[in-house]
Every structure is written in C-alpha cells, then in structure tokens.
Amino acid sequence: MKAQQWVSEQTTSTILAWQPQLKKIIESSSLTRKIALVGMGHPLRSDDYAGSYIVKKTITRAKSKRSDRILLFDGEDNVENLITRIAQLEPEHVIFIDACETKEEPGETKLISVTQTSYPFFTTHGVPLKLLAQQLLPKSSVWILAIQPASTDFGEQLSKEICAIADSISNFLVKLLEERGQ
C-alpha cells in the first residue's frame, strides 16, 4: 500500500520519473505475491501497439531472468480476455503498459494509479481499465504505464520516437529483472 500512496501523490511524472516509481513498487512488494506486467496495444494502429511491443521485446530478452513472481503478459488489443486469468493469480500489483492519450508530447511516459483515472479513461480499448480493475482485480494495486503516442492511425510500425521510448522501457524492465535476481 505504501507504494500506491507514494505514486498516487506524484501523478505528474516526466519521461524518466516513472522509472524510480516502478522500481519502488516492485522493490516494496511482498516476496510471496506476484506482480503482473501487461502490455496492451493494437498491432495495426501504429503507436497504439507500444505496450504490447514492450512486453514482447522484454519477454524475448529476459527469458533466462523470468520468475514465478514477476509475470509478463501480452494482451495486445484484447486485454479483457486476459484479465480474468491475471485475476485468478491475485497479484499484489498489476501494471498495464499502454499507449494513452494524455495530451502530452509524444513519448511522454507516466506511471499512474488506475484509481487516479476517470471515466472515460484515455485509452483506446473497449472497456475502461479502471472499471476492469474495480470489478476483476479488487485485491490488486493497479497501475498504468501510459505512453503518449505520436500516431494511432492505421499502420504496422511504431513511429521512430515511440520505438525509441519503447526500447528504453524494455531495457529498463530487463535491467530491473536482472537486479531483482529474476
């Protein structure tokens, strides 16, 4: 609970401020409870795919560093089907990684408690994450690592700036898994 209070007080993160916040959440969590990192995004909507891209890349690069405690999920554009599986695990924290309209500069990344969001939330998915979290993840602290996209138009490529941010986030996650002995 301390981590959620700490991050909730700091909802105006800059591009790099999310890193110590995320690290603090993971380090302050129980060693006996799980943490779920969930990538989201439509593969045909350019930068909307960022969250899914990040998790896929992290899974590939962190194969030998994975554990039963920090779990990586790729929800692509249908996280609603995946969330019931995650809920059964009763994780302490669920961190959705998603391209979200935050009215910031492209690439701006914020770690936000889902309790700080309002309806309708700034994601492109069918059911607001806040509603999913309230209904299906009541025992978890739920976060969103929100990345401002440059474009969500039809396309199979991340924009150059979002690809660089996504690679940076994946590198950070791999390093975090290594530090945690995962």
Dihedral over alpha carbons 63, 4, 76, 180 (to 10 degrees): 0
| Distant-in-sequence, close-in-space partners of 162: CB < 8 Å, separation ≥ 6 | 47, 50, 99, 106, 107, 147, 149, 150
Q: What's the pTM value of the predicted model, to 2 decimals?
A: 0.84
Rounded CA separation 62/127 (Å): 30
- Burial grade of 154 (CB within 10 A; 0-12, 13-18, 19 or more): exposed
Q: What is the pLDDT of residue 19?
A: 93
CA 56 distance to own-chain centroid: 12
What are the domain boundaries of the chain? 34-149+162-177
Residue percentage of the chain with pLDDT more than 70: 82
Of 134, 34, 124, 26, the residue nearest 79 (C-alpha): 124
Coil, strand or helix: which one is 141? strand
The pLDDT value given to residue 30:
80
CATH class of 34-149+162-177: alpha beta
As a whole number, mean pLDDT of residues 24-30 equals 85
Cβ–Cβ < 8 Å for 90, 43:
no
Distance from C-alpha of 181 to C-alpha of 53, rounded to nearest angstrom: 23
Give the model confidence (pLDDT) of 60-118 as tens digits: 988 766 667 889 999 887 777 788 889 999 999 999 999 988 888 999 999 999 888 76
Strand partners, 146: 98, 110
Q: Pick the more confident residue, 135 or 36.
A: 36
